[in-house]
């Protein structure tokens, strides 16, 4: 009896496999860390072979836990977005390092394209802006600098991480789902649009090397890597999967994921909302050929800031300490931390900005710095809320998830600084849950995502309690700290 949905959640710092029942209960999980390669300042790379090997191992562990491949109804995959993989179609082996979404090596190129007036085309067709965050400039750079890619000729395959994993699992199926394709800056995201000739020409990307664009739910292929045939029926970028996992399915419903970075998506329905305030229009999901869109604000540094405080500055031993440290002082004593460790994302889009801690005095201690780091999450979220509202997409309530929001102090601070109710699900792995929901729809277990939303489960609400004058003073200090970093 095929009773489980198996999810492969391939993130930036780890890859995880999880087993779900149709009721949304997670019965088992297995994770494996991924090596981060920083070969030069601003460069971030992964070993695609390691991604595959570790993903294969954790998935095999879950198949064994389930009692064999014949107990798995379907596989869903969620993945770190924008990261791009290059491989040989003949051998199935990587030809170069995978360039990670955080990588900033193409900042100068993107700036030059913007100065030459190309950003309106990119935004009109893809919903995105010119920034090294997206896959297109990474691909163009790799083709110019890594000769083995050009030498591969028509054997060259290019894809985001879910595309790479599907190829390896199926033995050669080259596809990408619409949510991931919409993050490349190579796709015309309008209804019915596909890979765009003009965008491909702008970035010098050969369309012949790109995968076929598919729905996010459906029967895409099968894998026999685990002793029996298992269908792959759900695919989505991690942030879109989290949006689904949070049951944000109607226009105006909004989620924020605080993981390695922080990503806020607000569903706009069947219409794409072109931002006038440097937010991103993206495909939230595509089912049955019908596209649902979202407006997105992307923050590059969130949980990775806490990791930096731990690993590079040794201010904390583990992330769990941050709650008690933040509560140990009445406020940050005027300390602000702008976490531009890999530039600033929305709504500033300053790839060359660098992090700064300001307002320090002899009275400052590590609790003030840690509190300032946590406060930065709410400050950045408030800046994004302002931009969303200016685009006519203000938030009525915010559903939060990701590793950072296990911190009750931070969840309450978000409610206080945003002056709205913040809702946190009891089951925090919403990215994996969303991939399970898509897989369930793709295999026919559910007739729609709305039906699959029953998997979400119970939530906890945090309501604002901060007075308006304190909120305004903090935001004023934050705005000044950001101006110092950006020079605006």
Q: 328-352: per-residue pLDDT in tens?
A: 999 999 999 999 887 888 788 887 8
* CB-CB contact of 368 with 336 (8 Å): no
Q: 302-312: per-residue pLDDT in tens?
A: 888 988 889 89
**Is there a cis peptide before residue 347, judged by omega within 30 degrees of 0?**
yes
Span 136-144, average pLDDT: 96
Query: Pick the residue with more confidence: 141 or 350?
Result: 141
Spatial separation of the C-alpha atoms in residues 240 and 427, rounded to whole Å = 17
pLDDT bucket at 488, cuts 50 / 70 / 90: low
Helix (H) or strand (E) holding 267: strand 262-269
Span 142-164, average pLDDT: 95
The pLDDT of residue 406: 86
Spatial separation of the C-alpha atoms in residues 212 and 235, rounded to whole Å = 13
| Helix 135-145, helix 107-115: angle, nearest 10 | 110
* CB-CB contact of 217 with 77 (8 Å): no
Token pair for residue 368? 């003030």
Position 11 pLDDT exceeds 80: yes
% the chain with pLDDT above 70: 100
Spatial separation of the C-alpha atoms in residues 467 and 469, rounded to whole Å = 6
Q: 206-227: per-residue pLDDT in tens?
A: 999 999 999 999 999 999 999 8
Architecture of the domain delimited by 4-245: 2-Layer Sandwich (3.30)
The pLDDT of residue 63: 95
* CB-CB contact of 223 with 170 (8 Å): yes
Span 106-122, average pLDDT: 94
The pLDDT of residue 197: 96
Position 1 pLDDT exceeds 60: no
The pLDDT of residue 188: 96
The pLDDT of residue 233: 97
* CB-CB contact of 207 with 159 (8 Å): no
Span 132-159, average pLDDT: 95
* Residue 292 neighbours by CB under 8 Å, 6+ apart: 267, 269, 270, 283, 284, 285, 286
Position 257 pLDDT exceeds 70: yes
% the chain with pLDDT above 90: 78
pTM over 0.75: yes
* Residue 214 neighbours by CB under 8 Å, 6+ apart: 175, 176, 177, 178, 220, 235, 286
pLDDT bucket at 184, cuts 50 / 70 / 90: very high
Spatial separation of the C-alpha atoms in residues 36 and 98, rounded to whole Å = 11
Concatenated DSSP letters of 13-51: SEEEEEEE-TTS-EEEEEEEE---B-SSTT--EE-HHHH
Q: 356-402: per-residue pLDDT in tens?
A: 999 999 999 999 999 999 999 999 999 999 999 999 899 999 999 98
Sequence ranges of the domains in the chain? 4-245
Mean pLDDT estimate for the chain: 92
The pLDDT of residue 93: 96
The pLDDT of residue 259: 83
Q: 87-108: per-residue pLDDT in tens?
A: 999 999 999 999 999 898 999 9
Span 450-479, average pLDDT: 92
Query: Pick the residue with more confidence: 428 or 444?
Result: 444
Q: Which residue is associated with the tokens 């998506």?
A: 265
Spatial separation of the C-alpha atoms in residues 453 and 19, rounded to whole Å = 17
């Amino acid at each position: 009896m095929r009773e489980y949905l198996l999810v492969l959640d391939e993130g930036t710092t780890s890859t995880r496999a999880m087993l779900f029942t149709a009721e949304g209960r997670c019965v088992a999980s297995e994770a494996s860390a991924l090596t981060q390669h920083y070969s030069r300042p601003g460069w971030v790379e992964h070993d695609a072979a390691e991604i595959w090997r570790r993903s294969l191992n954790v998935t095999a562990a879950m198949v064994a836990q389930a009692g064999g491949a014949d107990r798995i109804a379907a596989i869903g995959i969620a993945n770190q977005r924008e990261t791009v993989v290059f491989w040989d179609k003949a051998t199935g082996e990587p030809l170069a390092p995978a360039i990670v979404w955080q990588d900033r090596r193409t900042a100068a190129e993107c700036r030059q394209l913007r100065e030459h007036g190309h950003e309106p085309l990119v935004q009109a067709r893809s919903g995105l802006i010119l920034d090294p965050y997206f896959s297109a400039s990474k691909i163009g750079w790799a083709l110019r600098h890594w000769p083995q890619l050009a030498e591969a000729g028509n054997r060259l395959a290019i894809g985001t991480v879910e595309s790479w994993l599907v190829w390896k699992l199926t033995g050669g199926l080259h596809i990408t789902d619409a949510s991931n394709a919409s993050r490349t800056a190579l796709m015309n995201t309008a209804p019915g649009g596909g890979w765009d000739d003009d965008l491909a020409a702008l970035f010098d990307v050969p369309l012949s090397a790109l995968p076929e664009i598919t729905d996010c739910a459906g029967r895409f292929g099968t894998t026999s890597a685990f002793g029996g045939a298992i269908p792959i029926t759900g695919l989505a970028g991690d942030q879109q999967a989290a949006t689904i996992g949070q049951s944000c399915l109607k226009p105006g419903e909004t989620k924020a994921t605080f993981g390695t970075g922080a990503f806020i998506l607000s569903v706009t329905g069947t219409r794409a909302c072109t931002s006038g305030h440097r937010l991103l229009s993206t495909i939230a999901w595509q089912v049955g050929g019908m596209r649902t869109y979202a407006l997105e604000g992307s923050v590059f540094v969130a949980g990775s800031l806490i990791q930096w405080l731990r690993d590079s500055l040794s201010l904390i031993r583990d992330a769990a300490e941050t709650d008690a440290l933040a509560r140990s002082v009445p406020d940050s004593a005027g300390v602000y931390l702008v976490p531009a460790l890999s530039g600033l994302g929305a709504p500033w889009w300053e790839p060359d900005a660098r992090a700064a801690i300001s307002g320090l005095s002899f009275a400052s201690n590590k609790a003030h710095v840690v509190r300032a780091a946590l406060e930065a999450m709410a400050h950045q979220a408030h800046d994004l809320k302002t931009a969303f509202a200016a685009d006519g997409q203000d938030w009525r309530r915010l559903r939060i998830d990701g590793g950072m929001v296990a911190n009750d102090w931070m969840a309450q601070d978000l409610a206080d600084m945003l002056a709205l109710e913040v809702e946190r699900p009891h089951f925090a792995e919403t990215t994996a849950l969303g991939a399970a929901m898509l897989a369930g729809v793709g295999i026919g277990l559910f007739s729609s995502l709305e039906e699959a939303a029953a998997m979400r489960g119970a939530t906890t609400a945090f309501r604002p309690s901060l007075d308006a004058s304190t909120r305004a003073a903090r935001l004023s200090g934050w705005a000044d700290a950001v101006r110092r970093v950006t020079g605006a």
